[in-house]
């Protein structure tokens, strides 16, 4: 196999741990190409993007990889032996090494594989051309399926037949749109779009966890709104997120998040969906959210307690007390995005006012309500719902009085509430 291109080896490629691993694998047979980098680490280097994970393909069997790297001082984790994958650890560095393979059978979620030693066959079973580019430790690039040209023009394209690739693993349908958002220039590859339209009905067969992970990765991109619009126009969203109906609002949120330096995929999801608390619970169940994430989504879709640019300072302080600093920031950004979606000017004085409202939480100290449940019990009430009832009544009064009443004044008010009932 001859190289098709060359890059100056990036730092991750020449790191001591990387060299040690490649040298250990290559010691099996110095006359053959034993192991090459592949996937995201090569793709991101060619796009000049940061590299987080290092994937390596090899002609060695998983057992040979495990034995060789263990002897070389690596900790070896058998993370996916049936698919030919082991993870090697040296210090703080992790490497995922996978034996070249071809899919023997697939069911849309997982595959049964045969291990092989032919690089071209391994390349042709991969998802996208930009992920099927290999590199050696010297910076030589091997491109069996035309990924270099796609990188050059900014195009995301399935390897071979798009429908076949998606049927092998339906998650690839969502990955296409995520990679389109990350790496591609318009227009999207037509064969890919047609395949996604035709096979989108299979998305509900995927686990909620897998859909959630890809959705959040898409939402974290620089311009998720454009890609979600593409997904909506081609009938894809309705199969896993039919609630996404406020894409203009999402676009506004992306803009203001960039202005304040805070990117959050769940907040972006909340801005994009048109729903209520019941609908938010449905989304959370579908995407398998934790209870904490579900509660936060529900709090973000609530329509009342809207923050307005012309609110008085006292009103802002009262609402911030009820929401808390984190939810206050979320609501400010979403309501700011609402104004932008309505066509209001997002620059100049308007933008400065919203920024100042957002920054209120940075220096705010939450007032401490002077009473506790024990104070209600001390006045002769029994443990039960009435404790919270009376405490909430006094707290509401305290908030309406700008948090100024002291403990004695609150106790007097509590006594009055109890005696009046």
Q: What one-character-per-residue DSSP string does 264-285 give?
A: -HHHHHHHHB---HHHHHHHHH
Is the pTM higher than 0.85? The answer reads yes
Q: Pick the range with the lowest mean pLDDT from 20-24, 59-63, 78-82, 88-92.
A: 78-82
Percent of the chain with pLDDT over 90: 86
Confidence class of residue 421 from pLDDT cuts 50, 70 and 90? confident
Fold exhibited by the domain 1-153: Beta Polymerase; domain 2 (3.30.460)
| Across 145-164, average pLDDT | 97
pLDDT at residue 346, rounded to an integer: 58
Confidence class of residue 30 from pLDDT cuts 50, 70 and 90? low
Delimit the domains of the chain by residue range: 1-153, 373-420
Residue 348 has pLDDT above 70, yes or no: no
Residue 54 has pLDDT above 80, yes or no: yes
Q: Which helix (H) or strand (E) holds 215?
A: helix 208-219
Confidence class of residue 107 from pLDDT cuts 50, 70 and 90? low
Query: For residues 93 and 54, what is the distance between their CA atoms, to the nearest angstrom?
Result: 9
pLDDT at residue 82, rounded to an integer: 82
Instruction: Evaluate whether 387 touches 376 at the Cβ level (below 8 Å).
Output: yes
Residue 296 has pLDDT above 90, yes or no: yes
Percent of the chain with pLDDT over 70: 96
Residue 111 has pLDDT above 80, yes or no: no
Query: For residues 231 and 120, what is the distance between their CA atoms, to the nearest angstrom?
Result: 32
Query: For residues 152 and 318, what is the distance between their CA atoms, to the nearest angstrom?
Result: 54
Residue 312 has pLDDT above 70, yes or no: yes
**204-243 residue pLDDT tens:** 999 999 999 999 999 999 999 999 999 999 999 999 999 9
pLDDT at residue 118, rounded to an integer: 94
Q: Is 310 left (phi over 0), alpha (psi -120 to 50) or beta?
A: alpha
Confidence class of residue 100 from pLDDT cuts 50, 70 and 90? very high
Burial annotation 188-223 (CB, 10 A radius, 16+ → b, else e): bbeebbebbeebbeebeebebebbbbbbbbbbebee
**251-280 residue pLDDT tens:** 999 999 999 999 999 999 999 999 999 999
pLDDT at residue 28, rounded to an integer: 62
Calculate ∠ Cα 203-272-216, nearest 5°: 55
Q: What is the mean pLDDT of the chain?
A: 93
Residue 112 has pLDDT above 70, yes or no: yes
C-alpha separations of 230 from 245, 360, 373, 421 in Å: 13, 37, 53, 59
């Amino acid at each position: 196999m001859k190289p098709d291109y060359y890059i100056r080896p990036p730092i991750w490629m020449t790191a001591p741990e990387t060299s040690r691993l490649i040298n250990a694998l290559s010691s099996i047979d110095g006359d053959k190409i034993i192991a090459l980098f592949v996937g995201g680490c090569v793709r991101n280097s060619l796009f000049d993007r940061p590299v987080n994970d290092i994937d390596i393909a090899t002609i060695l069997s998983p057992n040979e990889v495990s034995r060789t790297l263990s002897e070389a001082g690596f900790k070896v984790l058998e993370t996916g032996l049936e698919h030919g994958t082991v993870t090697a650890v040296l210090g703080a560095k992790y490497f995922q090494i996978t034996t070249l393979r071809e899919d023997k059978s697939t069911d849309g979620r997982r595959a049964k594989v045969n291990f092989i030693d032919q690089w071209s066959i391994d390349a042709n079973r991969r998802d996208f051309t930009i992920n099927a580019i290999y590199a050696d430790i010297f910076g030589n690039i091997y491109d069996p399926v035309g990924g270099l040209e796609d990188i050059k023009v900014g195009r995301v394209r399935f390897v071979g037949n798009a429908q076949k690739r998606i049927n092998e693993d339906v998650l690839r349908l969502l990955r296409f749109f995520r990679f389109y958002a990350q790496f591609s220039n318009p227009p999207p590859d037509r064969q890919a779009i047609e395949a996604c339209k035709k096979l989108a009905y299979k998305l509900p067969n995927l686990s909620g966890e897998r859909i959630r992970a890809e959705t959040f990765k898409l939402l974290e991109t620089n311009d998720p709104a454009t890609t979600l619009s593409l997904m909506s126009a081609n009938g894809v969203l309705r199969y896993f997120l039919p609630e996404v109906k406020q894409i203009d609002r999402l676009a506004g949120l992306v803009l203001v998040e960039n202005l304040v330096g805070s990117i959050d995929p769940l907040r972006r999801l909340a801005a994009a969906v048109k729903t209520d608390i019941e609908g938010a619970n449905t989304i959370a169940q579908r995407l398998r959210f934790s209870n904490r994430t579900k509660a936060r989504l529900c709090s973000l879709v609530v329509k009342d307690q809207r923050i307005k640019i012309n609110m008085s300072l006292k009103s802002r302080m009262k609402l911030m007390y009820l929401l808390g600093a984190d939810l206050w920031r979320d609501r400010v950004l979403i309501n700011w995005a609402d104004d932008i979606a309505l066509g209001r000017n997002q620059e100049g004085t308007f933008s400065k006012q919203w920024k100042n409202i957002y920054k209120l939480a940075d220096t705010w100290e939450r007032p401490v309500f002077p009473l506790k449940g024990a104070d209600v019990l001390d006045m002769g009430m029994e443990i039960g719902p009435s404790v919270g009832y009376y405490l909430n009544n006094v707290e509401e009064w305290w908030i309406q009085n700008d948090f100024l009443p002291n403990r004695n004044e609150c106790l007097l008010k509590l006594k009055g509430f109890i005696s009046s009932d």
